[in-house]
Amino acid sequence: MRILNCHARAEPRQVWTLVTIADLGSFVAASRALHLAPPTVSLHVSELELRLGAPLLLRDRGRVMPTGVGTALVERARRLLNQSDAMLEAVRLEVKGKTGRIRLSASTPVIAHLLPQALELLAREHPGIDVELAVMTSEEAMARVGEGSLDIGVVALPQPKTPGVRVHAWRRDPVVALVPAKWERPPYATPAWLAGRPLILNDSRTRLSRIISEWFAAAGHQPRPIIELNYNESIKSLVAAGYGATLLSYELLAAQIDNRIEIMPLRPALWRPLGIAHRLGLIEPPVQHMLNALRSVPLK
C-alpha cells in the first residue's frame, strides 16, 4: 500500500506534468511528451489533488482542461518556470563571460590614473560585466584573493607566496623626484642630494616607501622624512608650497603638474614594479576579460 504524506512538498515533476497536460489537453499526449507511462502521469495529478484537496483537471468533450484551482496552479507554475529559464539564461551568459561581477582592488593612485584605460576597454568590449572596486593595501589584497573574497588585486612587487594565489608582473614604472621649482638643483636627483633636503614621503608601511628606503640605503643614506602621507595629491601640494621634495611613481602622477613643481629623474634609476594577483586554477571568463584589459594598458 502507498501512503502519501499530505504535508510533504509537491515535487516539481508533478507540477510540470500538470502544466504539460494543460498545454496539450490530454493525458496521453502528456505521457508521450514527458516520456512517462500513462499510470505515472495519472499518479502525479492524483498526488497533487490529494495534497490540495481539490480537483485540478476536468474532462470536457474529450479534452482535458484545468479547473479553477488547476488554472491558478498552472499559471503560478508557468511564472516559476519562466523565472527558472531567465535564471539559467543569466548564468549561461555569465559562464560565457558576457555578464558577471568582478571584485578588484588597487591603491588609490592606481585606480585614479591606471585603471580607467582598462575599465574603458572592458566596458566597450564586454558591457555586461560590472566591476566592484576597493582600495586595499597589497598585503590585504593578497589575503583576500587567497580566501576567495576578491577576484583580482593590483599589488606592489615583490609579494611573498600566498597559497592559492598567482601573481603576474604587470608593469614597471620609473620613480621620479618632485621638488619645488624655486630650488637650485642638479640635472639628476641622487640619494646624496635628496638626503640633504627636507623630504615628504609615503607612509613607511607602503611598498613604495620601502623601495625608496632601499634606494637610499644602497648609497649609504637613511634620511628621515619631515612628513609621511599616503595621499599623493596632498604630498604634491606640500611640494608645490615649498615644504620639501618627494619621490613618486611617474605613471601615478596626475596629467597636470603644478608649475611650482619640477620633476627630476633619479640617478641611479629606481623602478616601482606592480603585479596582478588572482586565484590559481580555472579562471572564470569575466575575470579573464578583466585580466586581458589590464594587460592592454600601455607602458609609457
Task: For residue 215, tell me if it sits in a domain.
Answer: yes
Average pLDDT of the chain is 87
Same domain, 212 and 282: no
pLDDT in the model for residue 69: 85
Of all residues in the chain, the percent with pLDDT exceeding 90 is 48
Question: What count of other Cβ atoms lies within 10 Å of the Cβ of residue 96?
Answer: 12
pLDDT in the model for residue 93: 58
Same domain, 187 and 265: yes
Indicate the pLDDT class of residue 219, thresholds 50, 70 and 90. Answer: very high
Task: For residue 6, tell me if it sits in a domain.
Answer: no
Same domain, 256 and 206: yes
Considering only CA atoms, which of 210, 226, 220, 166 is closest in space to residue 190?
220
How many domains is the chain partitioned into structurally? 3
Looking at residue 193, its amino acid is: W
Same domain, 178 and 253: yes
Same domain, 167 and 277: yes
Read off the CATH number of the domain in which 123 is found. 3.40.190.10
Task: For residue 24, tell me if it sits in a domain.
Answer: yes
pLDDT in the model for residue 10: 57
Same domain, 233 and 279: no
Instruction: Output the pTM of the full model.
Output: 0.64
The residue out of 42, 62, 94 marking a domain boundary is 94
Residue 199's contacts (CB-CB under 8 Å, 6 or more residues apart) are 223, 224, 225, 226, 244, 245, 246, 247
How many Å from the N-terminal Cα to the C-terminal Cα in the chain? 80
Question: What count of other Cβ atoms lies within 10 Å of the Cβ of residue 124?
Answer: 9
pLDDT tops 50 at residue 7: no
pLDDT in the model for residue 2: 38
Read off the CATH number of the domain in which 25 is found. 1.10.10.10
Same domain, 161 and 278: yes
The per-residue pLDDT for range 84-96, each reduced to its tens digit, is 666 666 666 566 5
Mean pLDDT of all residues in 233-257 = 86
For residue 158, the enclosing domain spans 100-171+273-295
Mean pLDDT of all residues in 264-290 = 93
pLDDT in the model for residue 3: 33
Same domain, 25 and 72: yes
Same domain, 111 and 155: yes
- Residue 169: strand pairing partners: 275
Task: For residue 30, tell me if it sits in a domain.
Answer: yes
pLDDT tops 90 at residue 185: yes
Mean pLDDT of all residues in 202-231 = 91
Same domain, 177 and 166: no
Task: For residue 5, tell me if it sits in a domain.
Answer: no
Greatest mean pLDDT among 20-24, 205-209, 215-219 lies in: 215-219
Phi, psi of 122 (to 5 degrees): -60, -45
Which of the two residues, 20 and 193, has the higher pLDDT score?
193
Same domain, 116 and 78: no
Task: For residue 4, tell me if it sits in a domain.
Answer: no
pLDDT in the model for residue 1: 31
Task: For residue 107, tell me if it sits in a domain.
Answer: yes
Task: For residue 279, tell me if it sits in a domain.
Answer: yes
The per-residue pLDDT for range 114-153, each reduced to its tens digit, is 899 999 999 998 888 899 999 998 999 999 999 999 999 9
Which of the two residues, 300 and 149, has the higher pLDDT score?
149
Same domain, 154 and 290: yes
200 burial type by CB count under 10 A (0-12 exposed, 13-18 middle, 19+ buried): buried
The residue out of 94, 126, 141 marking a domain boundary is 94
